[in-house]
Structure 1
């Protein structure tokens, strides 16, 4: 049963709202199995396999109402909140930024509920911790009441109240612990991801109207279902690689059209990056790598930056060999550990006058230990 909107929750304490905002991103324990689905950021980088502790979120997609399939997508916008807080926003982190999303009203004076509504709420709620919850909530209230007709402003505040209620109830889903004895089992972790996904969807259905639920979470849930399906396909041992590829393609075709387009672009980008890495690995010289990359369509500027980086790494590798030989000789000299440590710093400065290359050297020493 859907909860009826209540008046804006003044009882929400600073600690409570801070906890809600901090816990608003749902982090999943994904199996470390190969899966064709990329991991991308909420309604925001591709990786062939979503690693553990990664949110199931859709690729970057438009925040327009049309992206959600909302029937209000074609509604005429007659009033809207501003796009900026000006040169001196209430939270320093917002300085120089445009407001994400917007609150909008149609010609009937009613709130247009779409993904931009959620983005607008998040833009302000994400400042909690930097400012007090009351300050963040007051900013939303002020912009709603000064930018929208009274009815639309009231709808916006009621919807914000539901959104805060959802965040509170979602915390209980997120707090479900894993069984320590099974947490390294990929199948168990996938089961827990599926359960958490279902539970979170049920929370949303209980708090929001079907229209608001679809507008706020439609794309996210569609991509979550796709990710879980592809992980399930990848985990099966009764399928050939060809069959897995076909099933993943079928699931991809079930995505909303805007997510299909973005997903295919990400997959193409992954393939292009793999080809470029193969060119770099096979090149006999930094200059040769740059030339081959340009032959594959990379811009001269980007190819030059790759060449410069590879030349810098080549210089570093040569210096590191000399440094390692000198360090080994120092360690075999019979000096005390304190003296070796002191002279090691001198050797580091001698062989790597550049601070960045000193950092590379320290990281390489850690890797070799």
Structure 2
């Protein structure tokens, strides 16, 4: 899942719209039914795992994938049925990510060969069917995108999300839908609700920040574990982008308030102060060390002793390990 949340708000809406409809080049094919493994089978023991063989004729042919570890696994339950999990989508996307580098038919043939080499029936037929329906989904997603404008408001983004979910429900069983898309859809819903708060003209900036934090805290713990790292990754990237353009700390604070709320913003600002103080100590030490090293007439041993004395005076033993590593 790579949902995107950007500030300013218009950019957030546009980029989220792109995220909700991203796709790989499709291939026309009929839709078939698949026997999905029972959801409880997702806890199958590791002994039932069948990993993709490196020597398979379905091994990745694209230069960009050579030497990489295959992302995703093919698994079966105790009865030999295909185990439905997010590993299947990871596997499909791993190969489909080479679109443009390889002919689409070649990519499809590699995945099909991998399935044939790795699984026996009934799991083999089930995996073939599910892969075909995933390709159908990719094709339908492109067609669905044509019904939505490129520049969309919040209502259009909600409509787009609902349409994508209906498409998935039509093509996949509940177990498949859950395994393939649950985390992504939860993140998208959270993002849209967050954008709705940000666009609410009746709320002050402080109220918006508080509502966003309450929204995040209202999520189940398991979902927060999925969302919070992505939110902070997005925040780091956007903060770096803001600072790279010369934005002041007020703009950074506004971004943080909107994305993670007042409490987390206060913690991040305290961390900024700590980092700035640490960097200043490093800069002061480096300047004085350079002055010692540049003194003429000092023996190497005297320079080493003077630098060590400076290090001892400025940093404790734990900090000295960090300083030494940085200075190297």
* Band of TM-score, shorter chain: 0.5 to 0.7
TM-score normalised by L of structure 2 = 0.61
Q: Does 1:33 align with 2:9?
A: yes
1:230 to 1:298, Cα distance in 2 relative to 1, 3 A: farther
- Cross-structure match for 1:300: 322
In the alignment, structure 1 segments of 5+ residues that lack a partner are 1-24, 35-48, 58-68, 309-369
Matching of residue 249 in structure 1 with residue 213 in structure 2: yes
Judged with a 3 Å threshold, the aligned counterparts in structure 2 of structure 1 residues 282 and 30 are, in CA distance, closer, same or farther, namely closer
1:81 corresponds in structure 2 to 51
2:257 corresponds in structure 1 to: none
Alignment of 1:118-137 (within 5 A): 118-137=89-108
Q: Aligned-pair RMSD on alpha carbons?
A: 4.1
Instruction: Single out whichever of 159-168 and 234-243 deviates more from structure 2.
Output: 234-243
1:26 deviates by 9.9
Deviation at 1:140, TM superposition (A): 1.5
Residues 193-213 of structure 1 show CA distances to partners (whole Å, capped at 9, x for unaligned) of 212111111111111111111
Give the whole-Å Cα distance in 1 for the aligned partners of 2:73 and 2:159: 33
Is residue 287 of structure 1 aligned with residue 287 of structure 2?
no
Change (3 A) 1:177 1:218: closer
Number of aligned residues: 246
Deviation at 1:229, TM superposition (A): 0.5
Q: How does 1:85-104 map to 2 (within 5 A)?
A: 89-104=60-75
Identify the residue that residue 72 of structure 1 maps to in structure 2: 41
- Following superposition, the deviation at residue 136 of structure 1 comes to 1.6
Q: Report matched runs for 1:309-348 at 5 Å.
A: none
* Contact 2:44 2:77 survives alignment (8 Å): yes
Q: Find the counterpart in structure 1 of residue 222 from structure 2.
A: 258
- Structure showing the higher helix proportion among its residues: 2
TM-score normalized by structure 1?
A: 0.55
For residue 53 of structure 1, what is the aligned residue in structure 2?
Answer: 15
1:115-172 superposed Cα distances (whole Å, 9 cap, x missing partner): 0011111111222322222322222222212221211010001001110111111112
Change over 3 Å in CA distance of 1:257–1:212 after alignment to 2: same
SS at match of 1:111: coil
Quick one: which of 115, 123, 126 aligns to 1:144? 115
1:234 and 2:204 equivalent? no
CA distance in 2, matches of 1:160, 1:242: 47
